Amino acid sequence: LDQATPQTKLFNKQPLQDKPVYTRSVKQVIKDKLDAMSTQKWELDQENAFFVGDLGEVYRQHLRWKALLPRIEPFFAVKSNPDPMVVKLLASLGIGFDCASKSEIQQVLSSGVESSRIIYANPCKQASFIRFAAQNNVARMTFDNAEELYKIKKLYPNAELLVRILTDDSKSLCQLGLKFGAPLDTVKDLLQTAKELNLNVVGVSFHVGSGCLDENSFADAVVRARWAFDQGEAMGFKFNMLDVGGGFPSGDVTDGITFEKIAAVLGPAVDAMFPSDVRVIAEPGRYYVASAFTVCTHVIGRRTVVTEENETQYMYYVNDGMYGSFNCILFDHQVVHPKVLSRGGNLTFDDKNDDIAINGDERTFNSSIWGPTCDSIDCLAKEANLPVLNDGDWIYWENMGAYTICAASKFNGFKQPEVIYTNTFE
Ligand code: PLP
């Protein structure tokens, strides 16, 4: 790849110069990378899988948030993708951060974010992490059980606490309520304990589950949060913050749910039930990053299978898998979609970035795609209808920015793909 354009106005406030950022379309960056690879014959690592991260898409998502939910302040959930360039971009835009651990807090602080822009939103925290939060004035944190309150009393008695309540997460891909959230019938007792310990509870938080498919889950959760607010206020707490959590969909339309639908329900529900002096925040993760990352994988092997019915099928092996970025299939309940990127050294999209239809007469085959490890769970697509691919061809996968890189392992000695950055915002 040749020189990246160093800066764009998007990053004026805080330069992001530690990595090059291109200003080309994602497909153009992919094309340039493949071209560069093909001229570096016999280079080590030449066929490695790679990501293209589009910071402009992250920024577009941010603008969309501001337009549709202007009252609700986003605190980016770092866990979804702690990519340093994403964190720095969002830091430069002035938004807040939801951190789950000491190292996420460290990363955000070292990106120049003040402690007041962080919420430590993990209801069960390691003691030393609470001490670290106290030393760094990261005061805002969540709890959902009495034991956590005793711990916080000992380690950070001035913390500003939000009680995380249980909501209906039955319409979400990842149901967090199995593990977190105080059932409403325990909320009064919890608040009573906080009162007796003289702790500072400042509000209520919830999470409708990640990958929420029903906007009404948010409306229902807001009603529950109002009830919890009323309990706190009746006990003499001065609640001033509502945290509506994460669960917002990616930029890509998934299963019919859209950010627009959620915003149309959530915004009015919050306005109807919470006066304007209540600060309302959210913890979107997937929303900001999912559609911003594309991963390109190399076909490293192929197996031809002839079924009992005499049908020819192909098994393709690619160099990122379930133990790497595609862990999202297992942990995040995602279905991923392979697209052919290049065959025999020729790209399958044109200069306008349009996908070139695979030759209409060309035969396609029932194919499966597998990751590179020696484990048979490592299957990325069981039934893909593809033309014949060969060793050395490339397959790309869009919408791979959330809960992918961050949870990848090095199982079987495979490295995580590098990320090449571009900014498609004009
Ligand atoms: N906040 C908390 C406490 C979470 O556990 C999660 C995800 O697990 C998020 C926010 C981000 O959720 P999402 O990526 O669905 O927006």
- Give the residue among 84, 81, 78 at the shortest CA–CA distance from 122: 78
Interval 250-285: pLDDT, tens: 887 656 899 999 999 999 999 999 999 999 999 999
Least confident range from 10-14, 280-284, 347-351, 366-370: namely 10-14
Residues flanking ligand 1, CB < 6 Å: 77, 80, 98, 121, 176, 207, 210, 245-248, 283-287
Contact 172, 220 (CB under 8 A): no
Task: Please pick, among 212, 374, 379, 406, the residue that the annotation labels catalytic.
Answer: 374
Domain that holds residue 218: 82-284
Nearest-atom index, ligand 1, CA of 142: 3
ipTM of the shown complex? 0.99
Asked if residue 74 belongs to a domain, the reply is: no
Name the band, by pLDDT with cuts 50, 70 and 90, for residue 352. confident
| CATH classification at residue 370 | 2.40.37.10
CA of 312 to the centre of ligand 1 (A): 43
* pLDDT number for residue 6: 39
User: For ligand 1, atom 3, which residue shows the shortest CA distance?
Assistant: 121
Going by the DSSP 8-state scheme, the letter that residue 4 receives in this structure is P
Average pLDDT over residues 162-182: 94
Structural domains of the chain, count: 2
Residues 102 and 209 both lie in one domain: yes
- Of residues 37 and 370, the one with the higher pLDDT is 370
User: For ligand 1, atom 12, which residue shows the shortest CA distance?
Assistant: 246
Q: Which residues are registered as beta bridge partners of 242? A: 204, 280
User: For ligand 1, atom 4, which residue shows the shortest CA distance?
Assistant: 246
Nearest-atom index, ligand 1, CA of 80: 14
Q: Of 263, 284, 305, which residue constitutes the final position of a domain?
A: 284
Q: What is the number of alpha carbons within 13 Å of residue 24 lying toward its C-beta?
A: 20
- Whole-Å CA distances, 314 to 307, 320, 379, 387: 10, 18, 13, 10
CA of 324 to the centre of ligand 1 (A): 20
Interval 199-247: pLDDT, tens: 999 999 999 999 999 999 999 999 999 999 999 999 999 999 999 999 9
Residues 210 and 103 both lie in one domain: yes
Interval 92-137: pLDDT, tens: 999 999 999 999 999 999 999 999 999 999 999 999 999 999 999 9
Separation CA 86–CA 249 (nearest Å): 18
Name the band, by pLDDT with cuts 50, 70 and 90, for residue 14. very low
- Give the residue among 116, 106, 113, 107 at the shortest CA–CA distance from 138: 116
Q: Could you tell me where the DSSP H helices lie in 14-156?
A: 26-39, 55-68, 84-92, 102-110, 127-135, 146-155
Q: What is the number of alpha carbons within 13 Å of residue 223 lying toward its C-beta?
A: 6
Active site residue 296: no
Residues 404 and 325 both lie in one domain: yes
Separation CA 269–CA 177 (nearest Å): 22
Asked if residue 269 belongs to a domain, the reply is: yes
Q: Of 240, 258, 284, which residue constitutes the final position of a domain?
A: 284
The whole-chain average pLDDT of the chain stands at: 92
CA of 247 to the centre of ligand 1 (A): 6
Nearest-atom index, ligand 1, CA of 164: 3
Average pLDDT over residues 45-69: 94
CA of 249 to the centre of ligand 1 (A): 11
Both structure tokens of 262: 């959620």
- Give the residue among 139, 193, 188 at the shortest CA–CA distance from 165: 188
Residues 268 and 301 both lie in one domain: no
Radius of gyration (Cα) for the chain, nearest Å? 24
Nearest-atom index, ligand 1, CA of 121: 3
Q: What percent of the chain has pLDDT over 90?
A: 83
Q: Of 267, 284, 301, which residue constitutes the final position of a domain?
A: 284
| pTM for this prediction | 0.94
- Of residues 13 and 220, the one with the higher pLDDT is 220
CA of 171 to the centre of ligand 1 (A): 15
User: For ligand 1, atom 9, which residue shows the shortest CA distance?
Assistant: 246
Least confident range from 3-17, 181-195, 281-295: namely 3-17
